[in-house]
């Protein structure tokens, strides 16, 4: 049975558990057309209230792609000439998580934090491609 696409998934890092989800969104222009596509990956420390969520946002722009589906897959983000990731893949989420930690994200802070995903993309894609362990590395837990 396939998993429900909007159901949060579990990530275990060290002694901590996080729930993560990915959403595609955009705003409408005056003519009702979809513009400003963005993918947002949200990681929420568990149990609830033990830290604020981290929102990693990939906004469409020159030299970047943030498709909402065909011909590219849902969850794909990348540079037209460079790194890319699929935000539905647990390993990609873990690589972004580790890149955010390396850049100073403090999971215990109680306020929500939104970061530009493009600032994390190349480090996360390199870690993912190299198969190298990342700081605080542990297996990503699948759906439960």
**DSSP secondary structure letters along the chain:** -PPPTTS-EEEEETTEEEEEEEEEEEEE-TTS-EEEEEEEEEEEEESTTSS--EEEEEE--TTEE--SSTTSPTTEEEETTS-EEETTSHHHHHHHHHHHHHTT--TT-SS-EEEETHHHHHHHHHHHHHT---TT--PPP---
CB-based contact 37:24 (threshold 8 Å): yes
CB-based contact 85:77 (threshold 8 Å): yes
Q: How far apart are CA 123 and CA 53, in angstroms?
A: 21
Distances (CA, A) of 42 to 31, 53, 81, 111, 139: 30, 7, 26, 13, 19
Q: What is the pLDDT along the chain (144 residues), one digit of tens a residue?
A: 455 667 899 999 988 999 999 998 887 888 887 778 899 999 999 998 899 999 999 998 999 988 765 666 678 899 999 999 999 999 999 999 999 999 999 999 999 999 999 999 999 999 998 855 444 333 333 333
Q: Could you tell me which of 86, 97, 142 has the C-alpha nearest to residue 123? A: 97
pTM of the model: 0.82
pLDDT number for residue 139: 37
């Amino acid at each position: 049975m396939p998993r429900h696409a909007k159901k949060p998934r579990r990530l275990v890092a060290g002694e901590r558990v996080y729930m993560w989800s990915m959403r595609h969104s955009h705003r409408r222009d005056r003519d009702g057309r979809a513009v400003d596509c963005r993918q947002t990956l949200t990681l929420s420390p568990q149990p609830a209230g033990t830290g604020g969520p981290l929102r990693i946002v990939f906004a469409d722009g020159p030299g970047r792609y943030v498709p909402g589906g065909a011909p590219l897959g849902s969850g794909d983000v990348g540079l037209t000439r460079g790194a890319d990731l699929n935000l539905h893949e647990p390993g990609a989420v873990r690589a972004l998580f580790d890149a955010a930690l390396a850049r100073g994200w403090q999971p215990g802070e109680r306020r929500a934090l939104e970061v530009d995903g493009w600032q994390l993309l190349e480090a996360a894609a390199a870690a993912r491609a190299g198969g190298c362990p990342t700081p605080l590395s542990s297996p990503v837990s699948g759906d439960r």
